[in-house]
Structure 1
Amino acid sequence: MKRKTLLAAELSWTEFEEYMRHDDVLIIPVGMLEEHGQHNPLGTDTYIAGHCAALIGERAGALVAPVFPYGYGPEGKKFPGQVSLSPQLLRKILYAYGACYAKHGARRFLFVNGHGGNAGVLRMVTGDLWYDYHALCASTEWWLLVPQIKPELPCNDHGGFYETSCMLAIKPELVDMNRAQDPVPDTILSEHIRAGYTVTYQGEPFFATIDDYRLGRAGNLGAPPQGANERIGADVLEAYIDYNAGLIGELRKIELQNKGN
């Protein structure tokens, strides 16, 4: 007998059709293939997004689409193995991904985003799906959300302490802590501007694209990876998963009108 599953790829088309008759929620994880230090795999963002999406789906009783493993990340193009799509192409692909499901009943989407460079594109995609299909879309990122829920977990790194801890909780066999290196020290660009994990003026972050100052040979930023551990990673992931499961419950309560009304 076929086991019960909430993974869309494991359903037949008739099972998917039947599921959409009683629930119109779909979770879409989006990742990236890029450097995360010499100790983490290129697929770090994809593994974290896919893992979280599957557990959110279990907890919320919602279908989970296959993870999309590519994103937008030109800052790491000097690192072998990195794959970066243009933001225009990524927007078209993710829109088409959602639209295919929207045409067959999905009306509420949760994008579980594993990569910072995807955030701006996903915000546009959520608007595209709303205006074209009246589909209610949410998009969340663990590194921004968790510090708001648990200030003791700042998640202030790329391939550093917190992201490495998440990987140790998910796929420890892919992490080689013997190769972990300290991040590049913050670069002092002017009297009050520093470039590190974030770019800051008088200690407060602002956006600027100056990655030549931020990325060294190691490829990780922010909190050093040394000391990363599975327990911290599990705490980070649990906070994120629990929040998103609750968010889906609230999204289900919103009454959606038919498009054109």
Structure 2
Amino acid sequence: MQLALSTWPEVERYLQRSTAIIIPIGSTEQHGPNGLIGTDSICPTTIAAGIAEKEDVLIAPTISYGMSQHHMGFAGSVTLRPSTLIQLIIDIVGSLEKHGFTHLYFLNGHGGNIAPVTSAFSEIYADFTNDGKQAPRCRLANWWRDAAIAKLAKALYGDAEGHHATVSEVALSYYAHPEAVKQAAMNPAVAATGEFYDAADFRRKFPDGRIGSSPQLATVADGERFYQLAVETLREDFLTFIKS
């Protein structure tokens, strides 16, 4: 059930049987020479839709912009300030809580969102505690950090999975949008790894946008495997969460 495709009476009826909602969140940023700029939003959106096929759950519109400052050296990337993302999460949770939602499951596709989103949760809990009210339950589920997903990526790609523009995320985005599969030459085959500071430092150290990865290995078939596994494992995680 998609919030954007529902009417307010339908949402009121939904709240009579469930007060949980899944909120996909990602980013709009470069993913190497063959990775889609929308990869980090496409992946959680696709997984959330798969969960909704198996469970009676409301899916919110995807938050498609995230904290991507470090990717701003590459054309097409868009970023929010950490403070902007924190306030956005606070306002979204506050709006949904007012309508009666008690369990908000943020299904995340971008590592840069972790610190701002969890900081927002802390602000929300502090506000509710100070007001003497029961806070809504918020969870950030990072799909690529699931143990089963990481195990499959290791088995398929070894160290070539990498850290950014990973093979698994590019493959999952290709499964969701096979019409957008890209081909690009990459040298070296496995990108360098290392630390970075700001966007200029990122572009200087990783000129094609990859960190430790070989996304040219990504296929639609592998993407389907990640999709099926992610729907299964994250569905279980979501069901455990809403029982708390």
Q: TM-score, normalised by structure 1?
A: 0.79
- Segments of 5+ residues of structure 2 without an aligned counterpart are 129-133, 155-160
- Asked whether the 8 Å contact 2:149–2:226 carries over to 1, the reply is no
What amino acid is aligned across from residue 220 of structure 1 in structure 2?
A: R
- Asked whether the 8 Å contact 2:22–2:60 carries over to 1, the reply is yes
**What are the Cα deviations for residues 189-245 of structure 1, in whole angstroms up to 9, with x where unaligned?**
xxxxxxx1x55xxxxxxxx64762675332122221222212222222222221221
**Residue 57 (str. 1) matches residue 58 (str. 2):** no
Higher deviation after alignment, 156-165 or 92-101: 156-165
**Shift in CA distance, 151/166, structure 1 to aligned 2, threshold 3 Å:** same
What amino acid is aligned across from residue 239 of structure 1 in structure 2?
A: L
Kindly state the Cα deviation for residue 163 of structure 1 after the two structures are TM-superposed. Answer: 1.9
SS of the equivalent of 2:151 reads coil
- Asked whether the 8 Å contact 1:129–1:137 carries over to 2, the reply is no
SS of the equivalent of 2:21 reads strand
Over aligned residue pairs, what C-alpha RMSD do you find?
A: 2.2
Distance 1:90 1:36 in 2: 21
- Segments of 5+ residues of structure 1 without an aligned counterpart are 1-5, 187-195, 200-207, 255-261
What amino acid is aligned across from residue 219 of structure 1 in structure 2?
A: G
Kindly state the Cα deviation for residue 148 of structure 1 after the two structures are TM-superposed. Answer: 4.9
Alignment of 1:211-250 (within 5 A): 212=201, 215-250=205-240
Q: Which has the higher strand share?
A: 1
Of structures 1 and 2, the larger Rg is shown by: 1
Higher deviation after alignment, 153-162 or 36-45: 153-162
SS of the equivalent of 2:107 reads strand
What amino acid is aligned across from residue 222 of structure 1 in structure 2?
A: G
- Asked whether the 8 Å contact 1:165–1:229 carries over to 2, the reply is yes
Higher deviation after alignment, 88-97 or 161-170: 161-170
Structure possessing the higher relative contact order (Cα contacts under 8 Å, 6 or more residues apart): 2
Kindly state the Cα deviation for residue 124 of structure 1 after the two structures are TM-superposed. Answer: 1.8
| Count of residue correspondences | 229
Percent sequence identity over aligned pairs: 27
Q: Which has the higher helix share?
A: 2
**Shift in CA distance, 80/150, structure 1 to aligned 2, threshold 3 Å:** closer
SS of the equivalent of 1:17 reads helix
**Residue 170 (str. 1) matches residue 181 (str. 2):** no
